[in-house]
Amino acid sequence: MIILFYLAAAVAIIATVAVVLQTNIVHGLLYLILSLLAVAVIFYVLGAPFAAVLEAIVYAGAIMVLFLFVIMMLNLGQHTQNQERTWLTPRGWIGPSIMAAILLGQLLNVISGIDYEIVPTQVGVMQVSALLFGPYVLAVELASILLLAGLVAAYHLAKTK
């Protein structure tokens, strides 16, 4: 199982880097789906099958379909690919590289202080749904309104005059 974990982690990292480096938006979307599915495999290997299923269904399924519809509505062409190629200069990577290095340092600092004797507990579907539709119902509804606002904004941006 540990080999599957490291293999899925490597696929997730490589696919995520490919998302950033792609100039074709549909290819980037496919790499993002691959990255999300690899993260679902990581969740499953870590003993969280419910989180893995949610990752695959909600993120790799529903939200990616929404992104695909937005891409189709915007009808981006060759001009957008050329514009993205001009943005991917080595000089443009300095700031993000510094921030990624800071985040990596912080991650290594946190990992070095983890107590590995923590015993995971299993959380059922009823407990998650009771939280989502109980005290966190406002956050769930706000997230759905935010997604709806993004969809309406994408429609208005793509609408021809």
Distance CA 87, CA 72 (A): 22
Mean pLDDT of 83-111: 81
Closest CA to 132 of 63, 41, 58, 38: 58
Is residue 102 assigned to a domain? no
pLDDT of residue 154: 81
Q: Do residue 138 and residue 70 come from a single domain?
A: no
Q: Do residue 83 and residue 154 come from a single domain?
A: no
Query: Model's pTM, two decimal places?
Result: 0.57
Question: For residues 33 and 81, which has the higher predicted lDDT (pLDDT)?
Answer: 33
Quote the tokens at residue 58. 């909600």
C-alpha to C-alpha distances, 133 to 29, 44, 68, 120, nearest whole angstrom: 31, 24, 28, 24
Of the ranges 12-21, 53-62, 74-83, 117-126, which one carries the lowest mean pLDDT score? 74-83
Percent of the chain, pLDDT > 90?
15
Helices and strands (DSSP H and E) totals, the chain: 8, 0
pLDDT of residue 16: 92
Any idea what the CATH number is for the domain that residue 28 is in?
Answer: 1.20.120.1200
Is residue 117 assigned to a domain? no
Mean pLDDT of 82-90: 74
Is residue 135 assigned to a domain? yes
Distance CA 72, CA 134 (A): 36
Residues 6+ positions from 50 with CB-CB distance below 8 Å: 123, 124, 125, 128
Q: Do residue 58 and residue 135 come from a single domain?
A: no
pLDDT of residue 108: 84
The residue range of the domain holding 158 is 122-161
Q: Do residue 22 and residue 71 come from a single domain?
A: yes
**Number of domains into which the chain is organized:** 2
pLDDT of residue 161: 65
What single letter denotes the amino acid at residue 88? L
Please report which confidence band the pLDDT of residue 76 belongs to, taking 50, 70 and 90 as the band edges.
low
Percent of the chain, pLDDT > 70?
91
pLDDT tens column, 17-61: 998 888 777 788 889 889 999 999 999 888 888 888 888 888 878
Distance CA 148, CA 105 (A): 36
CA dihedral 11, 14, 20, 22 (to 10 degrees): -90
5 neighbors 42 (Cβ within 8 angstroms): yes
Instruction: Kindly tell me the sign of the dihedral angle through the C-alpha atoms of 63, 65, 71, 74.
Output: negative
